[in-house]
Structure 1
Amino acid sequence: MSISTVSYALNGSPKVTGETSAKILAIAKELNYVPNAAARSLKKRETNIIGVFLTDYSGAFYGQLLQGMQEALAKKGYELIVCSGKETHRFLPERIVDGAIILDVTFPDEELIKFANLGSKLVVLDRELEHENIKQVLLHNESGATLAIDHLIDKGHKKIYAVTGPDISYDANQRLTAVRQTVGRHSDIEYQEIEGNFNKPAGERAAEQIVREYSGPAAVFCLNDEMAIGMYDYLSKTDYRVGKEVHIIGFDNIEVARFTVPRLATINYSKRKWGTLAAEHLVKLLANEHVQNERIYVSLIDGDSVQKIQ
């Protein structure tokens, strides 16, 4: 019996008789045969799997984002796998995934361009890259940071801190640039930056510094909510109260933000929509349909932790 006859039978082809097909399927069952997905994908040149590449899995940020991706992809018959680390980068050139969504600051631009040149279809959420096989779905970071600083100034604050993010983060750099531009338009504002890293310990360290050098009411823009929550935790162990001596605004509106007391003021956007749009754009790219770059708009949640200075 030829290899092609066995292959036809295993794949349900009408090119073999029912009797022959039944014999081959019986033998396959007896031998516990399982189709080789990798071999099948090599022949079809598709796997129906999409990879999302993340810097890491920590924090409370990713849940709604991934949910939006998964729901949108499932409607189109795709599965989603979450990847992190340099070894997973080979999934693209080896065609283990059909395409990828990138939110991984450790993934070099030049490597993404190389894969795009080889035909990989990509959607990036954390950088600006121009290539026919790459599309961008980015946050309106500048608008969000401007909203945050204007909000603090409108409340009457004259001393403002910004707790920054990682130097290699596109979002952090976009937000910080907008903060500097906005503060620069107000000569009467005392402005200071504290180095952060988008995690709770960085917020705790920032709060410690602010308490140490405290000389009067201060407002703080944390470039993400994780650091803002870290500040809350540290200040809860001191005599300095959030919303009284220290006024805080964050960015991302993660779920825990609504349970803080006082409620954390923050920059809000739909993480589910961000994930959905990224997935939908990638599916269109894979189908060779026209796709435009997109921006996710943001809004301000005016919590109780930024009160007006009397």
Structure 2
Amino acid sequence: MKKKRISITDIANELSVTPSTVSRALNGGGKVSEKKRQEILSLAKKLGYRPNPIAKSLLENKTHTIGLIIPEFTHHFYSRMLAGIESVTSKAGYQLLICTSNEKQKQEIKSTQTLLDARVDGILATISKMNDKFQHLQEVMDSGTPLVLVDRFSEEIETPYVISDDFNGAFSAVDYLCQSGCKNILHIKGPANLSTTFNRFMGYKEALRKHEIEVKEELILESSDANLVEKIRFCLKNQQVDGAFAYSDYLAFEIYRAASDLKIPIPGSLSVIGYADEPLATYINPTLSTVNQQPFEMGATGANYLLNKINNPDIGLEIRSLETKLVIRDSCTKRAAKECQFS
């Protein structure tokens, strides 16, 4: 049988005092003698009294909960970002309510409604890659609930956000390939409507421009293409590709597979750089060069921004672009090693 929860009334009846006296004693209020206060606190501890969180939240107009919407848990990037968020929120006395969108707009919209119904004090969110409408995020802000975007952002939403410097992250990767002597550099883009895809593609093009290398459309592939693997094979076989930069480490792995099928040695004939520094990068052979986005720091910074917004709603728009780190491993020749961080 379910054990009855001890209430303030139970303590009051046991000590023959009023519930309001017990409430003041438990919450540090006045008009209670120190002797009576200690007596009440002692009995509350003995009986295992725990405050009713719902009643407390109604009284304070706060739930001490923060909503988090992320695309998924499986990627190391999001698990590290979550760890960064929790390192801040737990110290501040907040609990996390976590929802996943599975990169679907409908699920993201449902998640925002669920979190608003739960009366969270604020929401951290990473926009799903299938998102092309942002009314639900505007509704969060219109409700008075603070919102901070992390990793991805939309210019349509004026709210604090924390992202990585994807332009310079991509630029440093492709610049390294160019300095290593690569002339025909394949690029696999990310999902079409994401800010991260655009910024990494711009970084790719700017690095080529710096080295006066022509941007060739036939060397730019869309990750959403159903025939992506076949197109990678075609490029490697027919376009004299000597370097490759992928939107993610997982897409870089597809380049590895195609190169293996064609007996193209990495890095002997092909240098490859991915993005995000997932554990995969150190598991495959040769180990994958990549760009680290500092996801833990991203999560912690986003959480701090949200807490600032919760505690001071009138605070200005906070925007942070975190520096990325190029990590060179065995998938690249190391001619420019002095300029890079090694792992």
TM-score normalised over the length of structure 2: 0.73
1:244 to 250, 254, 268: 268
> Are the equivalent residues in 2 in contact too, given 1:92–1:98 (CA < 8 A)?
no
Q: Relative contact order, CA 8 A, sep 6+: which one is greater?
A: 1
Structure 1 residues 7 and 135, CA gap change in structure 2 (3 angstroms): farther
Gaps of 5+ in 2: 1-8, 10-17, 101-106, 336-343
Task: Output one character per residue of 1:196-231: Cα deviation in whole Å (capped at 9) or x when no partner.
Answer: 15xxxx8x9645423234133431110111211333
Q: How does 1:153-302 map to 2 (within 5 A)?
A: 153-185=178-210, 186-188=212-214, 190=216, 192-197=219-224, 206-213=228-235, 214-215=237-238, 216-288=240-312, 292-302=318-328
Within 1, Cα distance between the matches of 2:66 and 2:311? 14
How many Å apart are 1:104 and its aligned residue?
A: 2.3
Q: Which residue of 2 aligns with 1:137?
A: 162
CA 1:148–1:78 in 2, change beyond 3 Å: closer, same or farther? same
Q: Among 41, 49, 68, which residue is 2:57 paired with? A: 41
Shift of 1:103: 0.6
Identity among equivalent pairs (%): 24
Kindly indicate whether the alpha-carbon contact (under 8 Å) linking 2:134 and 2:157 is maintained by their aligned counterparts in 1.
no
Looking at CA atoms only, which structure, 1 or 2, has the larger radius of gyration?
Answer: 2
Aligned to 1:304: 330
Q: Is the 8 A contact 2:137 2:157 kept in 1?
A: no
CA distance in 2, matches of 1:98, 1:60: 27
- State the AA in 2 paired with 1:230: E
- Give the conservation status (yes or no) of the 8 Å contact 2:276–2:292: yes
Q: Quote the RMSD (CA, aligned, Å).
A: 3.5
* TM-score for both structures, normalised by structure 1: 0.80
**Kept after mapping to 2: 8 A contact 1:116/1:131:** no
Do the aligned residues in 1 keep the contact of 2:189 with 2:246 (CA within 8 Å)?
yes
Cα displacement (A) at 1:57: 3.0
Which residue in 2 is equivalent to 1:94? 117
**Unpaired stretches in structure 1, ≥5 consecutive residues:** none
* Deviation per residue, 1:250-302 (Å, 9 max, x gap): 11111221233222111123111111111111111111056631111112112
Q: Using the alignment, how far apart are the partners of 1:306 and 1:112 within structure 2?
A: 41
Instruction: Select the residue among 142, 153, 164 that pairs with 1:127.
Output: 153
What displacement does 1:233 show? 4.2
Size of the alignment, in residue pairs?
Answer: 295
Match of 2:82 in 1: 66
